[in-house]
Amino acid sequence: MYLLASYTGSLVIDNCAEDNATDVLYLHHLTDSSVGCSYLSGSLLLSTYGPSYSLLEVELRGWTVEEPDCRHLLVILNNSTMVSVEDLVKQCEFRRMLTILTCSTGMAVITLLAVGIPLLMCRQRRGAERKSATLRPPRPRA
């Protein structure tokens, strides 16, 4: 079965069938890096943005179910690139982890700057006070 999805709207595919035939989902003008993944209750949701930021969602029912009658879908993307849904999910999870790592690194840098700059300024001020105290000539005793 070939399913053609346009740039907008939503499509639900019940991927559990006893025929065990490979279903094919054709998404024209999309790349594997432009497809997002999220899990719903018993389903996998593939989403992407088309022209003019239109949202396209494809729900794969039964994808999270570990049964032999489910999970036999092949996705064809731009330039006839064939990719399995498992590969799409791996790439989605990799991008999600990369985003988390990037955000965590950014937060760590911001925290270091927020704490480090005031500490550095305080140390420089104390160092300047010590230096000026050691450079003063001794006071004459009366």
Q: How many domains does the chain have?
A: 1
- Residue 55, in any domain of the structure: yes
Whether 106 maps to a domain, the answer reads no
Q: What would the two tokens of residue 89 be?
A: 């999910």
CB within 8 Å of 24: residues ≥ 6 apart? 1, 2, 3, 73, 74, 75, 76
Identify whether 101 is part of a domain: no
Per-residue pLDDT of the chain (142 residues; tens, 9 = 90+): 556 656 677 888 777 777 767 778 777 666 666 778 888 887 888 887 766 777 888 888 877 666 666 777 778 777 677 888 888 888 888 888 888 888 888 788 888 778 777 777 777 777 666 666 565 666 677 6
In a domain, 119, yes or no: no
Residue 39 contacts by C-beta under 8 Å, 6 or more apart in sequence? 45, 64
The answer to whether position 97 is within a domain reads: no
How far is the first Cα of the chain from the last one, in angstroms, to the nearest whole number?
106
Asked if 22 and 1 count as a contact pair (C-beta separation under 8 A), the reply is no
In a domain, 100, yes or no: no
Give me the domain span that covers residue 61: 2-92
Q: 22, 74 in Cβ contact below 8 A? A: yes
pLDDT attached to residue 128: 62
| 99 domain-assigned | no
* C-alpha closest to that of 35 among 25, 22, 65: 25
pLDDT for 134 equals 60
The pLDDT score that the predictor gives to residue 32 is 62
Q: Where is 111: in which H helix or E strand?
A: helix 85-135
Task: Look up residue 128 and give its two tokens.
Answer: 């300047």
Whether residue 84 is contained in a domain is answered as: yes
**Phi-psi group of 125: left, alpha or beta (phi > 0 → left; psi -120 to 50 → alpha; rest → beta):** alpha
Q: How many helices (H) and strands (E) does the chain have?
A: 1, 8
Q: Report pLDDT for 4.
A: 61
d(CA 85, CA 138): 81
